[in-house]
């Protein structure tokens, strides 16, 4: 399943599909039965976050401890990633990594190790001095912007519509990053992201306009994930009523700022077309508590059988090599596991898993990707 890449002024951008085709060495090793290293890891350096987003999937994982990772453990993690062949790290997961004391050294150390790093942030605490220390070393930064209007933004992300100071703070910091990128001619891609909730149609066009006004490279609109119990009460059938407005937003794209809708995931709804879950072997998630589990949807304590270890307490290299790690991965990819009933909706490795499922079943075999490679090809 490959959506057409979006042409930007800096290259082709793939946000609504996967990039496995640029890692056929890892796909071939997996198919041969080898114990492969993940290509990409989605993680956070802390579980702390000052925001109170109504759409935040991490909110249903509250049984996880809200501690911050100490810098030595974070740097050891980078070394282990380099040792086994991890190619990229996304600082997103279940916390606001900019709050961690390990944030700057982790990014700089990973860059030195040849590992691409991206960062998802609300930008509230991402001020000028911190931006200058990390922006030259990042591949991309994606800012969470819940809505295009300050009052709705504050209602969705903080304590209420009257708290628009958080909107103002975020916009100031985003503008600083955009100006720094232009001034220093940095290669980093900057974008804003809206997690679209049913009933939020009135915020779609203001969000698109905000992206254009800020001068970011793209503004992306995506679905909202939920757990298998429907804790966030997402009615996926209601997305269809917003299709025409979403298309209008796409038509607002300019040469400098592309408005992108993640149509694939929006259309896929709450039931995946696969049952086995191969994705975590290629795209692993790690909690801001240090917990290593195959996916963020399993961070909650009720999934303790999927909790493999904690890199703040032991080396990740040893966790990855352990029989426990591979028993969990093998179980998820076995007939005993059913992704349609035993996990939440639209996981981070959704696109990756669709491609692997179709590949292994012979429906659509993966083939090497075409050159030139798209932007951020090491991020699946």
Mean pLDDT, contiguous 10-residue spans, the chain (380 residues): 81 95 98 98 92 62 66 98 98 95 98 98 96 98 96 88 92 98 98 89 96 98 66 67 95 98 80 94 96 92 93 97 98 97 87 97 97 97
| pLDDT for position 264 | 87
| pLDDT for position 48 | 86
Segment 277-307, tens digit of pLDDT: 999 999 999 999 999 999 988 998 889 999 9
Segment 6-16, tens digit of pLDDT: 999 899 999 99
**Residues paired with 261 in a beta bridge:** 221
Q: How far is CA 29 from the centre of its chain?
A: 25
* E strands present in the chain: 6-8, 11-13, 40-43, 88-91, 116-121, 140-144, 189-195, 218-222, 258-261, 283-286, 291-293, 309-310
Return the domain boundaries, the chain: 6-360
| pLDDT for position 222 | 87
Domain 6-360 sits in CATH 3.40.50.620: no
Segment 356-380, tens digit of pLDDT: 999 999 999 999 999 999 999 999 9
> Which burial class, exposed, middle or buried, applies to 9 when counting CB atoms under 10 A from its CB (0-12, 13-18, 19+)?
exposed
Q: Which long-range contacts link 31-38 to residues 24+ away (Cβ below 8 Å)? A: 31/359, 31/360, 35/326, 36/281, 36/282, 37/84, 37/85, 37/86, 37/320, 38/86, 38/280, 38/281, 38/282, 38/283, 38/284
| pTM for the full predicted model | 0.94
């Amino acid at each position: 399943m490959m959506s057409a890449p979006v042409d930007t002024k800096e290259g082709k951008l793939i946000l609504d599909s996967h990039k496995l085709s640029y890692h056929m060495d890892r796909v071939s090793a997996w198919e041969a039965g080898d114990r492969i290293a993940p290509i990409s890891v989605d993680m956070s350096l802390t579980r702390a976050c000052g925001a109170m987003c109504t759409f935040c999937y991490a909110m249903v994982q509250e049984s996880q401890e809200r501690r911050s990772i100490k810098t030595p453990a974070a740097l050891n993690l980078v070394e282990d990633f380099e040792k086994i062949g991890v190619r990229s790290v996304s600082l997103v997961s279940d916390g606001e990594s900019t709050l961690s004391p390990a944030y700057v050294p982790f990014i700089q150390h990973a860059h030195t190790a040849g590992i691409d790093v991206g960062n998802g942030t609300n930008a509230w605490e991402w001020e000028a001095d911190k931006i200058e220390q990390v922006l030259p070393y990042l591949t991309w930064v994606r800012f969470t912007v819940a809505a295009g209007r300050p009052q709705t933004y504050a209602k969705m992300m903080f304590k209420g519509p009257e708290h628009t100071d958080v909107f103002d703070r975020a916009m100031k910091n985003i503008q600083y990053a955009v100006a720094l990128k232009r001034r220093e001619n940095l290669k980093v891609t900057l974008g804003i992201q809206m997690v679209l909730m049913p009933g939020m149609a009135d915020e779609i066009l203001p969000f698109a306009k905000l992206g254009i006004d800020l001068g970011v490279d793209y503004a992306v609109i995506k679905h909202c994930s939920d757990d298998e119990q429907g804790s966030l009460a997402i009615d996926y059938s209601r997305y269809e009523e917003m299709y025409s407005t979403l298309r209008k937003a796409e038509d607002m794209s300019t040469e400098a700022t592309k408005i992108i809708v993640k149509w694939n995931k929006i259309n896929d709804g709450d039931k995946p077309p696969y049952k086995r879950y191969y994705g975590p072997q290629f795209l692993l998630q790690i909690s801001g508590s240090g917990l290593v589990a195959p996916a963020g949807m399993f961070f909650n304590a009720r999934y303790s059988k999927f909790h493999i270890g904690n890199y703040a307490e032991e080396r990740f290299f040893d966790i990855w090599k352990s029989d426990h790690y591979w028993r969990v991965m093998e179980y998820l990819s076995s007939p005993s596991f059913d992704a349609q009933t035993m996990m939440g909706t639209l996981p981070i490795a959704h696109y990756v898993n669709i491609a692997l499922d179709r590949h292994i079943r012979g429906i659509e075999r993966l083939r090497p990707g075409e050159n030139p490679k798209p932007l951020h090809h090491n991020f699946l």
